[in-house]
Amino acid sequence: MPFAASFRMLLAMNPPVSLAAGWSLMLVAMMAPAIIAPVLYVRLRSFRRLRARATALVLAAYGAVWMAAGVVLLAIELAASLFAPQSYWPASAAAAVAIVWQCSPLKQRCLNRCHLHREIRAFGAAADLDTIRFGLKHGFWCVGSCWAAMLAPMLLPRGHVPAMVLVSVLMLGERLEHPGPPSWRWRGFGKLKRIAIAQTRIRLNQLGFI
């Protein structure tokens, strides 16, 4: 089948509205651990009567950045399904890139920026503007940190859900780590693993196994 006809058929099978809805649901499922701390930060620095508004603004700004990133990531996914349907090679290549990115100093720089929370003014349009900027900046650095890990599960012909759960756990582990100097090293599960081991020992001790 000619490329143009294949592309039109692919778009007919994956309408933009459906792609946007699916991407939004995936963001809600996978990025919830990453947005909890920023939302709490904004709420704690807003007056009680303005907290709902501040929460909505930071979520909207953060989501807008990820929706823009989704245009690129979904385009890569569609291209992979067009040129290598039902193949694990695109996902394997993306996983290799994700592993290198996970260990790179640039990844740590993005994570450090995710932990950097600017002050937010308290009143009026200035407070709204600061909140929107906060959400946009946090979304930008979150995309910089997570894009490679997000892409690999999207390119799998099967097994999307287990891979996305693993990536979500990885993102949660990253957010638990403190900012650090940019360097080449693996990052993501250190503190989360220690917490899991400690909680397991506490439960076993309560049950009398230790």
As a whole number, mean pLDDT of residues 150-179 equals 88
CB distance 191 to 173 below 8 Å:
yes
What's the domain count of the chain?
A: 1
pLDDT at 7: 57
Instruction: Please state the pTM of the whole predicted model.
Output: 0.86
d(C-alpha 11, C-alpha 115), whole Å? 38
Q: Give me the pLDDT at residue 170, please.
A: 86
Write out pLDDT tens, residues 34-83.
888 899 999 998 888 899 999 999 999 999 999 999 999 998 988 888 88
Cα radius of gyration rounded to whole Å, the chain: 20
pLDDT band at 11 (very low <50, low <70, confident <90, very high): low
pLDDT (mean) for 147-162: 90
One-character DSSP codes across 71-108: HHHHHHHHHHHHHSTT-SHHHHHHHHHHHHHHHSHHHH
Mutual orientation of helices 190-206 and 160-176 as an angle, nearest 10°? Answer: 90
- pLDDT of residue 180 exceeding 80, the answer is yes
- Residue-number span of the structural domain to which 54 is assigned: 3-206
